[in-house]
Amino acid sequence: MPIALPRAMRRQPSELGRVSEEGPDELAERARKLLTGRVEFLLSAPQLKFLPEPDAPEIAFAGRSNVGKSSLLNALTGRKSLARASVTPGRTQELNFFDVGEPLALRLVDMPGYGFAKAPVKVVERWKMLVRDFLRGRAVLKRALVLIDSRHGPKDVDREMMKMLDEAAVGYRLVLTKADKIKASDLAAVTAATAAEARLHVAAFPEVSVTSSEKGMGIAELRAAVLADAES
Ligand code: GDP
């Protein structure tokens, strides 16, 4: 079956005009102000019927548990404990929504982490159903970020996530996390391997984002990408 172009890649000419009017520095500054300004936890959705109204563009964050997703959300929003505040132990299988901007400009969606080695089959199946249905049915979902640990590179569970996004025609960026934990030469190698992986996937962006929440590396660039994606 042919796979549709990710919806965010089907831009209208008028939208392209808007993006090109603004330089990269202005976009980065607007993104910094927005993402470090008002960001509030909205709700956790354990099932699709609890999703918020689709009244703002959404950017979803996915990754294996322990990949550094909470740390990245905190770094992007300039906070110490944004993501943690809402994620109590029983809530790890829920989609967590955060409102950004006053007035509301976009929503960040913290997707449940995957790849627990000992997760019961039932939990994994429930996760798959929730995530797949969300990805397929969410018209306001502009982009997903798939986080990959720099020390490990893409694993089969990440490929499975990427395949779900390909099939749902949701465009996504691959984001390496914890880049400060490895040597520059190893980082170059894992970045190349991740870019090669991206080329195998129809909905993946070709460029790989390299980040360290600990050192602030790549955070300004990723903020700008998140804003540009939300406005695409
Ligand atoms: P999550 O389970 O994906 O939300 O992962 P966390 O954000 O809780 O991070 C998992 C572990 O990795 C924690 O011990 C973090 O302190 C650590 N970590 C996350 N990001 C970075 C980073 O950029 N650099 C380093 N050195 N450690 C990180």
- How high is the pLDDT of residue 10? 44
**To test ligand 1's pocket by mutation, which of 61, 70, 71 has the most ligand atoms within 8 angstroms of CB?**
71
Q: Which residue has the least CA distance to atom 28 on ligand 1?
A: 178
CA of 67 to the centre of ligand 1 (A): 6
CA of 114 to the centre of ligand 1 (A): 15
Q: Which residue has the least CA distance to atom 24 on ligand 1?
A: 178
Phi, psi for 150 (deg, rounded to 5): -55, -30
CA of 115 to the centre of ligand 1 (A): 16
Question: CB burial class (10 A; 0-12, 13-18, 19+) of residue 77?
Answer: buried
Residue 21 bridge partners (DSSP): none
**Do 146 and 67 form a contact (C-beta atoms < 8 A)?**
no
CA of 68 to the centre of ligand 1 (A): 4
Fold of 7-230: Rossmann fold (3.40.50)
- How high is the pLDDT of residue 25? 94
Question: CB burial class (10 A; 0-12, 13-18, 19+) of residue 198?
Answer: buried
CA of 7 to the centre of ligand 1 (A): 31
CA of 91 to the centre of ligand 1 (A): 19
- Ranges of H-type helices in the chain: 13-21, 24-35, 69-77, 82-86, 121-137, 156-168, 184-199, 219-230
- How high is the pLDDT of residue 18? 53
Q: Which residues line ligand 1 (CB under 6 A)?
A: 63, 65-71, 113, 177-178, 180-181, 212-214
Residues in the chain with pLDDT values less than 70: 1-20, 83-92
- How high is the pLDDT of residue 212? 98
Q: Which residue has the least CA distance to atom 22 on ligand 1?
A: 178
Cα–Cα distance, 130 to 11 (Å, whole number): 28
Question: β-strands 39-45, 95-100: how paired?
Answer: antiparallel
Per the confidence metrics, is the pTM higher than 0.85? yes
Domain map of the chain by residue range?
7-230
- State both tokens at 199: 């080329």
Q: Which residues contact 174 (CB under 8 A, 6 or more apart)?
A: 146, 148, 154, 194, 195, 197, 198, 204, 205, 208, 209
Question: CB burial class (10 A; 0-12, 13-18, 19+) of residue 183?
Answer: exposed
Residue 145 bridge partners (DSSP): 61, 173
- How high is the pLDDT of residue 89? 53
